[in-house]
Amino acid sequence: MIAKIQADAFLKQSHLLPVLDVRSPSEFLQGHIPGAFSLPLFTDEERAKVGIRYKNSGRDFAVKLGLQIVGPKLSWYAEEARRLAPARKVLVHCWRGGMRSESMAWLLQMSGFEVQLLDGGYRTYRRNIREQMALPAKLIVLGGLTGSGKSAVLRQLAIFGQQVLDLETLANHKGSVFGGLGQPAQPTTGQFENNLYQVWEAFDPSKTTWVEDESRAIGNVNIPDVLFQSMLKSPIAVLEVPLGIRVERLVKEYSGVPVEGMADAIMRIKDSLGGPATREALEALGNGEFHTIARLVLVHYDRLYSKSLIRREAGVAFCLPVTVNDTVKIANELIHLNQGK
């Protein structure tokens, strides 16, 4: 008999054993357990045909079609599984933990594998990670105006051994309309949540976790609602960084990105910038005057950030005036302030 295990046990085992995801390729691309291998029982086209047969003719006829499709590929499945899991111990799942994963598990067991199934499938895994992220945690949200270097400070906090949830790195996006410039393609929102939880599950809930102040959307992905609500209710530590330092940081980050992308981003905030400022920014872009662009854009984002502070429920835990762009010094001071509050 093939063992079925719950999502929390499955995830613990996934750090030790290969995970075979037998859903269709498009399901896998939409979101999968980090590190899982795609071993689809059906292609997208085959899955659609079986679904249509089920709807039109019933379960028995759908199963018959499925067997006709899968039969010629049985040997390939076994060989591919041996390549992915040479120790012949695997975890297997589909969407609901039904026929697809059970069929693959039966084949692999017959081929000499030790198989464990995810009870309830990927759907249960997704529900489980949301429940886990809803549990109480000691968050401190790192805030500050655009260009304050929050992401760099978070990375330094991580180097110092602090628990850090770097949402922008996980999202492949820096948060603003300029945030996708020069970044890899973003994951889907589902995959972003999965990758986020992989980091989250390693944290000690009794210790502070630092996370950057963000809008609900980071580019094209969304922060899970349970986490976003926790962030709004958590205290915020605000970096107070002079305009000059912020301008220099933005120039350093964005002066090398394609001009076309910069122009498109400027046009996306033209209504907030206003006509004269938009024209000035585009002209400055054409002349390579990135300091001018940074100053104009910061007017827009400073206004937005001031409004965003109003929505916070827990208020400001502490403010840290920053006079020198030294992330090591800033991170040390934040740790000290947090320990002393």
Active site (catalytic) residues: 94
Q: Which two tokens stand for residue 60?
A: 């028995």
Residue 45: Cβ within 10 Å count = 9
CA distance 46 to 122: 20
**In 3D, which of 300, 334, 309, 315 has the Cα closest to residue 153?**
334
CA distance 121 to 322: 49
Residue 99: Cβ within 10 Å count = 15
Q: Which two tokens stand for residue 81?
A: 């599984």
CA distance 233 to 33: 29
Pairing of strands 236-240, 316-321: parallel
**In 3D, which of 133, 142, 127, 130 has the Cα closest to residue 205?**
133
**Ramachandran assignment for 144, one of left (phi > 0), alpha (psi -120 to 50 degrees), beta (any other):** left
